[in-house]
Amino acid sequence: MEQVGSTSHKKRKKFWTEERKEAFSGYIYISPFFILFFIFGLFPILFSFYLGFQKWNGLNEMEFVGFQNFEWILTDPIFWASLSNTLIMWLLGTLPQLLIGIILAYALNASIIKMKSVFRVSIFMPYVTSTVAVAIVFGVMFNSQEFGLINVILGTFGLDPISWSTSEWGVKIAISTMVFWRWVGYNTIIYLAGLQGIPHELYEASVIDGATVRQKIQYITIPLLRPIIILTVFTSTIGALQLFTEPLIYIGRTYREEGITVVLYLYREAFSNLAFGPASAAAIILFLIIIVLSTINVFIANRIGR
Amino acid sequence: MGDSYTQKQSKIFAKSFLYFLLAISAILSIFPFYWMFVMATNDNSAINSLPPAFIPGGELVANFMNVINTIDFFGAIWNSLFVSVVTTIGVLFLCSLAGYAFAKLKFKGRDILFIAILVTMMIPPQLGLIPQYYIITKLDWLSDMKAIIFPGLIDAFGIFWMRQYISSNVPDELVDAAKIDGCSNFRVYWNIAIPVIIPAFATLAIIRFMYIWNDFLWPLVVLREESAYTIQVALRGLIDNYVRDNGMIMSGTFWATVPLIIIFLLFNRLFISSLTEGAVKS
């Protein structure tokens, strides 16, 4: 007995070498991520692709319907409206945001400016506010009534009040403003970090060579800022394609055609109409759009990088 | 002489232009907070008149009482605080542990698994929304905080961030020395790595806390009972009424926003660097 015990003990000791112990610990330490990601990430994604081809309301048996869900969605004018709304609000909310972000970062980086931290903190404050709060506050500002703040301001310029929440462009401008206000400071600070990373010697050398301010911006600032510009375009594009909270809060359960976005459409199909098949099909289409736009982005980034 | 005079003049012009630009931006950034406060302290008739109230009124308490009578404000704040704190602590532990494994331990497939984690960052979360909801119903976690906490523990960026930080801040010699002294891998992580990575914890904690606190779509989908609402979902209840009481709506929104803004103002440097550095470095 004694001998058996000692040999098995020896064997175990041999099995648990330092390398094995280390590898075992390594796998244990990273396993929570993979377990959780499998349950709440990978499996749902694969299941979404499956659901896109099923008819299902969450209760009854699933029924395979081929491409019917996709046909149904692609012939639904509301889906096309959601798609074009998303793209329009992406342009209205994102491009001005990035452009003004660069200008503000440039101003904040100028050596002649004092009280920088006060400006920095105030410009960044909107980002700390929740999207729901932003949407509620701006929703009240963009009230369609004549006592809504924006309409009052228009009134002081002698302009007629606009029914923001029901007009084709009013909804989009209101929602884009919310996105713009919350994110412009964030992007400003990111650009500022990029500007501060540009070595001072470059500017000094260019001054010796007699460069003008415009030349400095054109030949030093913009090229060196390029990776960061690409990064912000990339992240804000993906963010804009997932626009949901602002339109839901602003236009509410009416899901108005003027303001519905792709994710809002998906949400309506799934949780209001219990049409999980078409909703999953919409999710797949959104995924494909994101992949295409990301690929274009990477492609452009590589070309510019050269 | 004349040339230097115009140069000086154009410099003053440039300076005042930049100040003007920054001042306008700062005012536009802060104004909605002021406006929130103005409406939160005025009654509906003062808000809905022409011209509307532009200075704070005396209805601060009355409006907030209406909020409490309409939604479970403090319950929702507590729920938000609870899920945000628990998820953040969990993320700090799991991400630093995984980051430590990727930075300091050797095992087969380490690099491929790390790249796999980075790839998961590219996938938009809404893609799996419906099956995720279905899984939560199958687990019987609807209106349960577990539905927010467990999916919230998945943080690929956090693992990436921790790995980078541990690689460059925890010296290999220290790890080896501790191992020779007979420390287990977990002991080395706990006693050697943790004290060094406290600054990285602060950054990750701010990012994660803010994300969970402000998240809306997922809580909206899985929290069905009012008693389980986070503050973001509860705020929506304010605007869902047939009668729009803007004073009350803004009061709820104001008091839900103020705590985070105060914390931000106190630690503004840490907040700004944490929330932007992460984006730039990845």
Q: What pLDDT score does A9 carry?
A: 55
Residue B78, both tokens: 């507590």
CB-CB under 8 Å, B100 with A29: yes
Cβ proximity of A54 and A63 under 8 Å = yes
Can you list the residues of chain A whose pLDDT is less than 50? 1-7, 306
User: How far away is chain A from the Cα of B61, in angstroms, using its nearest Cα?
Assistant: 19
What part of B 23-82 touches A (C-beta under 8 Å)?
25-26, 28-30, 32-33, 35-36, 39, 47-52
What letter would DSSP give residue B72? -
B70 by Cβ neighbours in 10 Å (0-12 / 13-18 / 19+) ranks as: middle
The residue among B8, B25, B261 with the most chain A CBs within 10 A of its CB, best to mutate, is B25
DSSP result, B213-247: HH--HHHHHH--SGGG--HHHHHHHHHTSSS--HH
Contacts of A149 in chain B (CB under 8 A): 35, 52
Query: Among A29, A45, A104, whose Cβ lies nearest the Cβ of B97?
Result: A29
Contact: A126, B29; criterion CB under 8 Å: yes
On chain A, the residues whose CB falls within 8 A of the CB of B271 are 124, 128
Please enumerate in sequence order all residues whose Cβ is within 8 A of that of A300, keeping only pairs 6 or more positions apart, or say none: A230
List the single best residue of B91, B114, B276, B282 to mutate versus A (max A Cβ within 10 A).
Answer: B276
Q: With an 8 Å Cβ cutoff, are A29 and B98 in contact?
A: yes
Task: Say if the Cβ atoms of B25 and A119 lie within 8 Å.
Answer: yes
Q: Is B52 helix (H, G, I), strand (E, B) or coil?
A: coil
Prediction ipTM score: 0.91
From chain A, pick out residues whose CB is under 8 angstroms from the CB of B50: 146-147, 152
Residue B108, CA distances (Å) to A20, A22, A88 in order: 10, 11, 48
| A33·B156 Cβ contact <8 A | yes
Half-sphere exposure (CA, 13 Å, Cβ side) for A302? 6
pLDDT of residue B183: 86
Cβ of B98 and A30 within 8 Å? yes
Per 3-state DSSP, chain B is made up of helix, strand and coil in percentages (nearest 5) of 80, 0, 20
- Note whether A32 contacts B98, CB cutoff 8 Å: yes
Interchain contact, B276 vs A193, CB within 8 Å: yes
Give A123's contacts in chain B (Cβ within 8 Å): 22, 25-26, 29
Rounded Cα distance, B260 and A130, in Å:
9
Nearest chain A Cα distance for residue B245, angstroms: 11
Contacts A23 to B, Cβ<8 Å: 105-108
From first to last of its 282 residues, what are the pLDDT tens digits of chain B?
455 667 778 888 888 899 999 999 999 999 999 999 999 999 888 888 777 888 888 889 999 999 999 999 999 999 999 999 999 999 999 999 999 999 999 999 999 999 999 988 878 777 899 999 999 999 999 999 999 999 999 999 999 999 999 999 999 999 889 988 888 889 999 999 999 999 999 999 999 999 999 999 999 999 999 999 999 999 998 987 777 888 999 999 999 999 999 999 999 999 998 888 766 665
Among B47, B131, B264, the residue with its CB nearest the CB of A128 is B264
Residues 236 through 265 of chain B touching chain A, CB cutoff 8 Å = 236, 238-240, 246, 249-250, 253, 256-257, 260-261, 264-265
Q: Residues near A254 by Cβ (< 8 Å), separated by ≥ 6?
A: none
Verify whether the Cβ–Cβ distance A133 to B159 is below 8 Å.
no
The verdict on whether omega for the bond into residue B51 sits within 30 degrees of 0, i.e. cis, is yes
For A156, residues 6+ apart whose C-beta sits below 8 A from its C-beta are: none
**Does A235 contact B279 at a Cβ distance shorter than 8 Å?**
yes
Tokens of A14: 């041999």
A-contacting residues in B 150-209 (Cβ below 8 Å): 150-151, 153-154, 156, 159, 179, 184-186, 189
Indicate yes or no: CB of A122 within 8 angstroms of CB of B26.
yes
Q: What pLDDT was estimated at residue A305?
A: 52
Do residue A19 and residue B106 have CB atoms under 8 angstroms apart? yes
Q: What domains are defined for chain A?
A: 13-69 (no CATH), 72-305 (1.10.3720.10)
- What are the structural domains, with CATH classification, of chain B? 2-63 (no CATH), 71-240 (1.10.3720.10)
- Return the number of CB contacts < 8 Å for A and B: 260
Q: Could you tell me if A130 and A220 are in contact, meaning their C-beta atoms sit under 8 angstroms apart?
A: no
Contact A25 B120 (CB under 8 A): no
Residue B85, beta-bridge partner list? none
> What span, in angstroms and rounded, lies between the C-alpha atoms of B153 and A36?
8
> pLDDT tens digits for A147-190?
889 998 998 898 888 889 888 899 999 999 999 999 999 999 99
Position B281 scores a pLDDT of 62
Tell me, what's the pLDDT at A13? 60
**Residues of A with Cβ-Cβ distance to B213 under 8 angstroms:** 130
- The Cα–Cα gap between A94 and A88 comes to 10
